[in-house]
Structure 1
Amino acid sequence: MLTKGDDYPIHQTPEPIAYAGSDRNFYDRYFFNAYAQDGSAFVAVAYGVYPALNVADAHIAIVKDGKERCLHASRVLGLERMDLSVGPISIDILEPLQKLKVTVTKAEGIAGEIVFEGRAFPIEEPRFVKRNGPRLFMDYTRLTQNVRASGWLEVDGERIEVSGWVGTRDRSWGIRPVGAPDPQPTPGAGITGFFWQWSPLNFQDRSVYFHINADPDGKPWNTRAVILEDGAGPDGGYHTDAATMATELIPGTRHAKGGVLTIPMEQGAATVKIEPLNTFLMKGIGYGGEWRHGALKGELAVAREDIDVANFDPNDMSNLHIQAISKATLSVPGQPDQQGVGVFEQLILGPYRPLGF
């Protein structure tokens, strides 16, 4: 099956680009978010292709005034991976690794056009590889890049100017659960638990990145912190696997009231105090729920979903995965403190003993 991608020198196997190995869970995804620097408005976009499932989907969610207004779209991929559009949502790569554009042609009252421009060269996170017993659960690569965003959004006739906004985009590809879940349990997989925190933060002249995946006993199996100056190239920035996040939870929930990130450096530890302002529920862009990534919805399906993020059950399984739009204070020894803004993504499933679960 030949497709448009076969005319580009991007093959990784002897097969046509349409085929991506033998694992049904292979995926290739774009993610974007952007937010006003006071946290009052927020947008997130996800776009994914699932070659073995022959599905592509795209989502946009806009959070403002306590409401999360979402547009979901899904279509049959038709094995063509170079067409970056699903219904009304499309992506244009204006400058690889530097500038991308998301366009939403008006549908269900939602429209917009936003350009995301990198503040520095993207960072490559450590490869994520995790097995549950004998079964491969995750194996993927991700690049992450903080951005400046410009453009506009429209929700039910209200225009939102995206000016002076910052945010983050990422690209990940590889294997992780997508589409319908596998109904057969795996003997010997042991107690399953998943702990995830991700904090890309934007400051005046630099970015701070932190993520951690940890086992139920708190042992990290993938973690990294980066301090990256604006304009840095592929080899720039300070990278360490020794950073730690002290998390205070909202009582009775698995969501953070706040956190303090500590990054060891030669001149002494840098700290970042994170103070959540508003909540974005990740199900609004397909992380769980009816519109989960890779779900087969037919030849083409488009739908609107509105979520009340001022009043929701934080212990409902579909609401555990969030990004908290947060104020951040960066303190580096010998330098004035910097105020910034970012997200504090959180997902705690099953046991996690360090926080009492």
Structure 2
Amino acid sequence: MLTKGDDFPIHQTPEPIAFSGTDRNFYDRYFFNGYQPDGTEFFAIGFGVYPHLNIADAHFSVIRDGIEHCLHASRVLNMERMDISAGPIRIEVVEPLKVLRVVVEASHGIAADLTFEGRTFPIEEPRFVYRNGPRAFMDYTRLTVNVRVSGWIEVDGVRRTLAPGSVGTRDRSWGVRPVGAPDPQPIVPNRIPSFFWQWTPLNFEDRSVFFHVNADSEGEPWNTRAVILPDGAGPSGGRHTSEAAMEDVVMIPGTRHIASATLSIPLAQGSAKVSFQPFLTFLMRGIGYGHPEWRHGGYKGELAVDREDIDLSKVNFLSPENLHIQALSHVTLTLPGEAPVRGMGVFEQLILGPYRPYGLG
């Protein structure tokens, strides 16, 4: 089947763009977040295309006054991957790898118009490949960049323009990971499912810091990297990378989330230190991650749009759908021989199953 994408020189196989190999779990995803300089408002957007499921879905979520307001949308893709929209939510690629715009047309009391401009050329993270026995669980590539954000968000008739200095992060990932309906065929031999993920994209006045780690239940990383790069950094040069960064964390008792943390990144002249003080919790279910009703790639019919409001003061953070979070944090970066600098960023956390280093069973 021919689609609009076939008129662009972007093919990776002999087939039309409508087809992406043969794995039914292939996906192509946009993610954005942002926050006011004083941390009073946090928002995030997710948009996913699932070519072999023939579905696209989008989510917009903003925290105001302790409530996470969420707009969910899902539609049949009709194999047209160049249409980056679902219901009232659409993405415009203004300048590839540099400027993107997200528009939420008024729906269910929510609307927005946001522009995300990269502070640097995006970083390409190490390829994520993980198997459960013989079965490929994940195999994907991701680019990440911190951004300056402008525009406005409206909830129930109250429109707020983002203050100058609003920042955030966006990423793009594509490849294979579980999407749509769960696989009914169990892994043989049976094993206790576990997954450990932390990601910390951080914005400082003149630079960005990134750290991520996927690890097994014993704490052995299978994908990790830290990056420090100045504003304006291009595709190469001007950045420091390390696969040997280490974390010390203090957990919130009785939860799977941190109360505070310190990240150490080795440098030639010593170690960079980043301290984290989380102060606002964003539920990733608000943009579909682990959502019981709005699972990524789930079939909702030709078009479905709905709103959800989550009172964060009443959330049970031990419920499975609430384990995956982004904790907006005040952060302090200390480099050898330099005065500490303050910034802001997120500490994304998802710990499923046992994780021995934290004493989690």
- TM-score, scaled relative to structure 2: 0.98
1:50 matched to which residue of 2?
A: 50
Deviation at 1:311, TM superposition (A): 2.5
Deviation at 1:64, TM superposition (A): 1.6
Q: 1:224–1:240: 8 Å Cα contact kept in structure 2?
A: yes
2:331 to 328, 331, 356: 328
CA distance in 2, matches of 1:296, 1:55: 7
> After alignment, is 47-56 or 37-46 more displaced?
37-46
CA distance in 2, matches of 1:275, 1:64: 20
Correspondence list, 1:202-241, <5 A: 202-236=203-237, 237-241=239-243
Deviation at 1:310, TM superposition (A): 2.4
1:311 matched to which residue of 2?
A: 314
> After alignment, is 339-348 or 37-46 more displaced?
37-46
AA aligned to 1:283 is R
1:98-123 residue CA offsets vs partner (Å, 9 max, x unmatched): 00000000000000100000000000
2:160 matched to which residue of 1?
A: 160
AA aligned to 2:259 is K
AA aligned to 2:277 is E
Q: 1:128–1:222: 8 Å Cα contact kept in structure 2?
A: yes
1:184-240 residue CA offsets vs partner (Å, 9 max, x unmatched): 211136332100000000000000000000000000000000001000001131011
2:341 matched to which residue of 1?
A: 338
CA distance in 2, matches of 1:40, 1:311: 19
Correspondence list, 1:1-357, <5 A: 1-163=1-163, 164-188=165-189, 190-236=191-237, 237-289=239-291, 290-357=293-360
1:124-149 residue CA offsets vs partner (Å, 9 max, x unmatched): 00000000011000000000000000
CA distance in 2, matches of 1:145, 1:189: 38
CA distance in 1, matches of 2:223, 2:64: 33
CA distance in 2, matches of 1:272, 1:194: 24
1:46-102 residue CA offsets vs partner (Å, 9 max, x unmatched): 000000000000000001211000000000000000001111000000000000000
Deviation at 1:315, TM superposition (A): 0.4
CA distance in 2, matches of 1:191, 1:319: 20
Runs of 4+ in structure 1 deviating by more than 3 angstroms, as ranges, are none
- TM-score, scaled relative to structure 1: 0.99
Q: 1:257–1:276: 8 Å Cα contact kept in structure 2?
A: yes
AA aligned to 1:332 is L
SS of alignment partner, residue 313 of structure 1: coil
AA aligned to 2:174 is W
SS of alignment partner, residue 269 of structure 1: strand
CA distance in 2, matches of 1:32, 1:310: 24
SS of alignment partner, residue 227 of structure 1: strand
CA distance in 2, matches of 1:324, 1:47: 21
AA aligned to 1:315 is L
CA distance in 1, matches of 2:158, 2:329: 24
Q: 1:133–1:189: 8 Å Cα contact kept in structure 2?
A: no
Q: 1:99–1:115: 8 Å Cα contact kept in structure 2?
A: yes
SS of alignment partner, residue 354 of structure 1: helix
Deviation at 1:335, TM superposition (A): 1.1
CA distance in 2, matches of 1:166, 1:224: 22
1:257-287 residue CA offsets vs partner (Å, 9 max, x unmatched): 0111100001101000011010000000000
SS of alignment partner, residue 270 of structure 2: coil
> After alignment, is 117-126 or 154-163 more displaced?
154-163
Aligned-pair Cα RMSD in Å: 0.7
SS of alignment partner, residue 13 of structure 1: coil
Instruction: Provide the aligned length of Structure 1 versus Structure 2.
Output: 357
1:132-191 residue CA offsets vs partner (Å, 9 max, x unmatched): 011000000000000000000000011111122100000000000001101221113633
Deviation at 1:343, TM superposition (A): 0.4
